[in-house]
Amino acid sequence: MLRIPCPYCGIRDQDEFRFGGESRARRPENPDQLSDEEWAEYLFYRDNVKGRHEELWVHSYGCRQWFNVTRDTCTHEIVGSRRIGSVNG
Ligand SMILES: [Zn+2]
């Protein structure tokens, strides 16, 4: 089980959190102007990085805040976490 450092509450067990996917996936500003292929790329396709990866998590059974986590997808080591909008986030 992962121990995830919520930037608002501190370290908690993974059971309190929900995974939200890649943190760098940004909603297109003009989705009505995208082709079906471009919209599908945003909705369904991710990089599946091997190594350090930026992810979104929500502390759903705690403060209910979304935040960024840097995790190694090979070892599951959590390198750090930070609030959305903070430096590097
Ligand atoms: Zn929290």
For residue range 18-57, list pLDDT tens digits in order. Answer: 999 888 777 899 989 999 999 999 888 888 889 999 999 9
Q: 12 CA to middle of ligand 1, Å?
A: 8
Ligand 1 centroid vs 39 CA: distance in angstroms? 32
For residue 50, the CA-to-ligand 1 centroid distance in Å is 27
Q: Whole-prediction pTM value?
A: 0.81
Q: Specify the DSSP element, H or E, that contains 20.
A: strand 18-22
Q: What is the pLDDT of residue 47?
A: 85
Q: Among residues of the chain, what percentage have pLDDT more than 90?
A: 73
**What residue spans define the domains of the chain?**
3-23+35-83
Distance 72 CA to ligand 1 centre (A): 21
Nearest-angstrom CA–CA distance, 51 and 86: 23
- CB contact at 8 A, 81 and 67: yes
Mean pLDDT across the stretch 53-80? 96
Residue 48's pLDDT is: 86
d(CA 63, CA 46): 27
CA triple 49-56-54, angle to 5 deg = 35
Q: Which CATH superfamily is domain 3-23+35-83 in?
A: Folate-binding superfamily (3.30.2270.10)
**pLDDT computed for residue 77 by the predictor:** 95
Instruction: In whole angstroms, give the CA distance from residue 25 to residue 61.
Output: 24
Q: Which long-range contacts (CB under 8 A, 24 or more apart) does 36-42 make?
A: none
In this prediction, residue 46 carries a pLDDT of 85
